[in-house]
Amino acid sequence: MQQAMMQGNFGASHAEALVEVIGEGGMQQLLARLSKHMEDLLTYAISSYVTAMQEAMPENTKAPSYQYGVPGCYGFYEAKLNDLRGYEELHSGVLHNCRRLGNAFALLQMLEGATQVVSMKTLLHLPITGTLMPEPLEEAATGVSAAWGQAAEESDMVMMAQQLSTLCAPLSSRASLLNGVLSRLANALAPQKEQWLGGDTPETDMSSYETTKCFHRVWAAVQFLFCTANFDTQMGSMDNITLFGEGVPMAGCLILHMLGQRHRFELFDFCSHIFAVHMSDISGQRPDDMLAMFLQRVSMMKRSNERMFLLLHALDVPTVYNAWRFK
């Protein structure tokens, strides 16, 4: 979805046209279908792959020492995750379904922006300066109705004045299509949080991170494989970022945020550890082409994750620990 936006295949103008064509009723149906699609992906397809990945995770992935350098740290994680690299549904199942979830989130974000733009065009063109207040208009209509001997609650003029004032009122700054859908996702994820967290809670001792089956460790493995295990075709090897785009990291960030595991992931991420070793290397030795490409992908991934986490924080997306507040 992000690649389609950057290439001009589907952008803001297309989303605005879609909102204008399908109208309010169509938007409600589209949001309902999209929300159901995301819930099904999360609770069925992705959930089954998370379970399979948890079972296949190596027993211990203690972060190697900085003394081993980038090649040593890279080789350590590559050897530890060799079995997962050979998982036949890594690309067709895990990465594909995560891309679908991430792309659905990106589409929701675009539709929300398009809805606000269309609303501004169709509803908010009257109050140029935003100084029109509902009280004077309603008071004037009420006064006319009283002069005609008609009660305000029975007057069509008063009702029209109230409706016009409502239409001219600015949209709420907290109105969001995303919040409603994502709160449903958090509620759908809540019954599975025990399994996805591997028995961990926000208060769990972090010393067990090397052996935990928690989602943040599973996603660290997925992200490492996303940057290293290219998709093999008859025409040669295809880069996963080119094949799947930013939908995969977006899905991972969304799930990590809802599980409240962002900070643990950032602390114990395999790719981030290798990248930190590279940044601290003062020897000046240049990595070979394979490692250089890996580090470039990790750098792109870290920027994508940071943008996504900032967005989720700004939207105040609910987590499985506070989803009940949005029911």
pLDDT along the chain (327 residues), means of 10: 57 86 84 92 94 92 91 95 93 96 92 79 51 65 86 84 70 63 89 82 59 92 95 81 92 94 93 94 83 95 94 85 46
Q: What is the pLDDT of residues 127-161, one digit of tens each?
A: 444 444 446 778 888 888 888 888 888 888 888 88
Residue 81 confidence (pLDDT): 96
pLDDT digits (tens, 9 = 90+) for 266-305: 999 999 999 999 999 877 788 899 999 999 999 999 999 9
Q: What is the pLDDT of residue 173?
A: 46
CB-CB neighbours of 52 under 10 Å? 16
The predicted pLDDT at position 123 comes to 58
Query: H helices of the chain, where?
Result: 2-6, 12-40, 46-56, 69-80, 82-85, 96-122, 134-147, 156-168, 177-189, 193-196, 215-228, 240-244, 247-258, 262-268, 270-279, 289-315
3-state secondary structure of 197: coil
Cβ neighbors of 19 (< 8 A, separation 6 or more) are 27, 111, 114, 115, 118
Q: At 60, is the secondary structure helix, strand, or coil?
A: coil
Can you give the pLDDT at residue 135? 62
What is the C-alpha radius of gyration for the chain, rounded to an integer number of angstroms? 25
Among residues 82, 79, 57, 81, which one has the least CA distance to residue 68?
79
What does the DSSP 8-state code read for residue 187? H
Provide the pLDDT for residue 296. 95
Token reading at 314: 């700004």
